């Protein structure tokens, strides 16, 4: 369907058909949860080799009310939109098959999120379908909304990169950070769901419980996204911590020129005043004075905050997201809403829970 058709669909209530390839993983389940409540999508297929013909609720107990069984991923149905929640390397090998099945493909892996094939040679193991990279649009609407309109190949951003980009982008856009800026240090803490449903021994509860483990002190792949889309060179570290859902980025930046707290408030308010899923949380009252993953768990919201260290001309920017929603499935649906001409917030206007035991 065209963007005009999509607008008409949103108005009349007719649903686009959608499929989720790779539906048994955590992200696949999150996609199914969101799409099941979306006013403009009808999920007609979810695929899984390991759970073929089993109910979706068997893998995702929160979706036991969804009347849908997994089917073989080799037998793709014809749909309007195909969401691929597959491991890295799968989509680039099946992209032509995906487009035979759907008009629009939304890939949540890393397969199309970098704009240049050379970057895949450096950060991954090369690319099997480099001709599609120019066609793909990065899924983060706060960064790439204009180019997402009518896009037919959407590439989901990495959760760690998403948290960092949302925190740093206002400073970049305001000219406070640029290629001449000194070192930008980004430290991310992330929950165990980032490792996926098959995360291995390091993600098992006895090993993960209680840790603050630096699993990528240097050279994490999401660093490439920050450099590609913000034009910044960053020193990037990721820690695994004892939570299930969530990613929190603490960014230490040293602007080219001195800034005041008022400058920061103006910069961030101007950047995010019209963004439906970004909240500025910076030094207010109460327990949660700065962005915190627990505050956004299960939602498509991001929280962004900052503090000024005037003596050292340092700005500390903190941002928090749910890695599976704003950092993956929710971002993908938000981008699809933009591409298809739906209301941007369609299917995503759910609040989180408080208190919660573990994000």
156 contacts 331 by C-beta, under 8 angstroms: yes
- Residue reference for tokens 């487009």: 99
187 contacts 359 by C-beta, under 8 angstroms: no
**What is the Cβ-side half-sphere exposure of residue 60, based on CA atoms within 13 angstroms?**
25
The single residue of 159, 164, 168, 234 carrying the catalytic annotation is 159
Phi and psi, residue 262, nearest 5°? -65, -40
DSSP summary character for residue 176? S
C-alpha 257/C-alpha 260 separation (Å) is: 10
Prior bond of 283 cis (ω within 30°) = no
The set of residues, in sequence order, having a beta carbon less than 8 Å from that of 288 and lying 6+ positions away, is: 281, 294, 295
CA 51 from chain centre, in angstroms, equals 25
DSSP summary character for residue 331? H
The set of residues, in sequence order, having a beta carbon less than 8 Å from that of 42 and lying 6+ positions away, is: 15, 16, 17, 18
C-alpha 324/C-alpha 160 separation (Å) is: 11
C-alpha 238/C-alpha 224 separation (Å) is: 14
- Residue reference for tokens 């014809």: 78
**251 catalytic residue (yes or no):** no
43 contacts 36 by C-beta, under 8 angstroms: yes
Which among 313, 303, 310, 179 is positioned nearest to 253, based on CA atoms? Answer: 313
Distances (CA, A) of 130 to 98, 113, 162: 16, 11, 23
| Ramachandran area for residue 48 (φ above 0: left; ψ -120 to 50: alpha; else beta) | beta
For the annotated catalytic residues, the residue numbers are 159
């Amino acid at each position: 369907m065209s963007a005009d058709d999509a607008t008409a669909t949103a108005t009349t209530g007719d649903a686009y058909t959608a499929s989720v390839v790779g539906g048994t993983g955590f992200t696949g389940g999150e996609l199914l949860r969101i799409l099941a409540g979306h006013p403009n999508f009808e999920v007609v297929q979810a695929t899984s080799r390991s759970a073929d013909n089993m109910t979706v609720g068997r893998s995702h107990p929160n979706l036991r009310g969804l009347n849908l069984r997994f089917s073989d991923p080799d037998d793709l149905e014809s749909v309007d939109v195909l969401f691929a929640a597959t491991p890295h390397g799968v989509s680039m090998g099946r992209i032509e098959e995906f487009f035979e099945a759907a008009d629009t493909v939304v890939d949540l892996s890393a397969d199309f999120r970098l704009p240049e094939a050379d970057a895949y040679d450096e950060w991954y193991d090369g690319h099997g379908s480099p001709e599609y990279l120019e066609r793909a649009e990065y899924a983060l609407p706060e960064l790439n909304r204009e180019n997402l309109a009518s896009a037919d190949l959407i590439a989901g951003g990495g959760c760690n990169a998403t948290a960092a980009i949302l925190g740093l982008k206002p400073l970049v856009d305001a000219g406070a950070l640029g290629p001449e800026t000194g070192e930008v240090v980004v430290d991310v803490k992330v929950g165990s769901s980032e490792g996926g449903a098959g995360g291995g021994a390091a993600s098992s509860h006895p090993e993960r419980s209680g840790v603050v483990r630096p699993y990528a002190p240097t050279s994490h792949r999401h660093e490439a996204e920050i450099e590609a889309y913000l034009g910044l060179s960053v020193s990037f570290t990721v820690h695994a911590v004892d939570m299930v859902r969530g990613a929190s980025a603490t960014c230490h930046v040293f602007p080219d020129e001195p800034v005041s707290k008022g400058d920061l408030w103006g910069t961030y308010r101007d950047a995010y005043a019209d963004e439906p899923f970004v909240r500025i949380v910076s030094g207010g009252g109460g327990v949660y004075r700065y962005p915190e993953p627990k505050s956004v768990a299960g939602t498509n919201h991001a929280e962004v905050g900052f503090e000024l260290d005037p003596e050292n001309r340092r700005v500390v920017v903190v941002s928090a997201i749910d890695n599976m929603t704003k950092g993956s499935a929710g971002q993908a649906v938000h981008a699809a809403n933009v591409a298809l001409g739906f209301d941007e917030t369609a299917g995503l206007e759910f609040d989180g829970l408080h208190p919660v035991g573990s994000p």
